[in-house]
């Protein structure tokens, strides 16, 4: 069975990736993407913006062309939450464009994970 987030083979039973995406994820994606995302969503629902961002402020790899991205929240486009794709272009002001749809991710405003 393959992880629904990173695509790598799952060892053991796997973990639920809900509410981020449907499917089963590996232990690495559960620990570094799904659980922080759940904590982020919980803190944000309680009105604790700073605490919410602390849950996802872990060290992430730098965004680069070809990297896989999982979108947690795109402020200007709520329908993009949970979408993933590959970065195809980084423009002059640092916005990320990719296969997730027509909107660019703005690193200073949007919340996303780089999946290694």
**How many Cα atoms sit within 13 Å of 56 on the Cβ side?**
25
The 10s digit of each residue's pLDDT in 60-76 is 677 899 999 989 889 88
The 10s digit of each residue's pLDDT in 80-107 is 988 999 999 999 998 999 999 889 999 8
* CA gap 111, 12 in Å, rounded: 29
Of the candidates 56, 57, 73, the one whose C-alpha atom is nearest the C-alpha of residue 110 is: 73
* CA gap 103, 9 in Å, rounded: 30
Give the residue extent of every domain in the chain: 15-55, 68-115
**How many Cα atoms sit within 13 Å of 68 on the Cβ side?**
13
The 10s digit of each residue's pLDDT in 2-13 is 999 988 999 999
pTM score, whole prediction: 0.70
Mean local confidence (pLDDT), 20-48? 87
């Amino acid at each position: 069975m393959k992880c629904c987030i990173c695509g790598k083979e799952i060892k053991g039973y796997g973990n639920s990736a809900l509410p981020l995406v449907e499917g089963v994820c590996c232990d690495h994606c559960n620990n570094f993407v799904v659980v922080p995302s759940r904590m982020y969503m919980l803190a944000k629902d309680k009105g604790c913006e700073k605490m919410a961002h602390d849950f996802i402020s872990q060290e992430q790899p730098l965004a680069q062309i070809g990297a896989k991205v999982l979108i947690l929240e795109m402020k200007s486009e709520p329908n993009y939450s949970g979408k993933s794709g590959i970065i195809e272009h980084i423009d002059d002001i640092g916005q990320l464009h990719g296969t997730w749809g027509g909107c660019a991710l703005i690193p200073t405003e949007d919340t996303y994970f780089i999946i290694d």
